[in-house]
Structure 1
């Protein structure tokens, strides 16, 4: 799988899907130098707040929409809606995690994937659809 990223532009309040993250070496020092494509400028620009860069899981929801870190998913069990959950990344475990919004429940995303009775669909993301977090 080729890694894909997206980034939230806080100034313009929009999601950008043409994102590239690179690692630069200078005098034996490694540092991350993220850059982002801004379509209206037709140019790659330095993106200082790379905390808002989100990686694709490489998976798609039941409607064929690509799932990224930061997405809000509606989880169903055999057709019954269980609620919404947000997808996060856990650096310590190196795994995508699903965080239930209505209850304090967190589980590795692969556990949801391995149970075929569950289905999920992207209903928004934490930047553009904060109102869905309260649903």
Structure 2
């Protein structure tokens, strides 16, 4: 797997791709090397940013999947849900599901909105397993730029 990093710069509210990380003891500072840079002092640094790793997976359209991306997945029953890719304890996983349509999951009060539900299927926590069990999965955004694709209260908390 190729290591790729992107960063959400909180100051400019932009996503920065092709990011490197300095070797600071506190976790490092994301930076990007401009095309015309000749020395370290010409790098663009983003000290107030959130780092996101590439998962090594691509969606059904060939788009790279990163941590904090919002995926829309469709299973063999035609059920469509949205979920957020998380990087936790060295693994990419998903825990929360936001169905748009009525589902067979018990205790879901369908209102026509994307609402969070907990799916208690332990195998479905790891991203690789989720992708194996769904026919279609597409990156539809990320929590920083497209948090409105989910419940706004939850996505705002994830962004802070």
Scaled by the length of structure 2, the TM-score of the pair is 0.67
Q: How does 1:55-134 map to 2 (within 5 A)?
A: 55-78=53-76, 80-91=78-89, 94-98=90-94, 99-101=96-98, 102-105=116-119, 107-115=125-133, 117-134=134-151
RMSD of aligned C-alpha atoms? Answer: 2.6
Unaligned stretches of 5+ in structure 1?
A: 25-29
* SS class of match (2:21): strand
Question: Structure 1 residue 6: deviation in Å?
Answer: 0.4
Aligned residues: 126
4+ aligned runs moved over 3 Å, structure 1? none
Unaligned stretches of 5+ in structure 2?
A: 99-115, 153-160
Scaled by the length of structure 1, the TM-score of the pair is 0.78
Structure with greater proportional helix content: 2
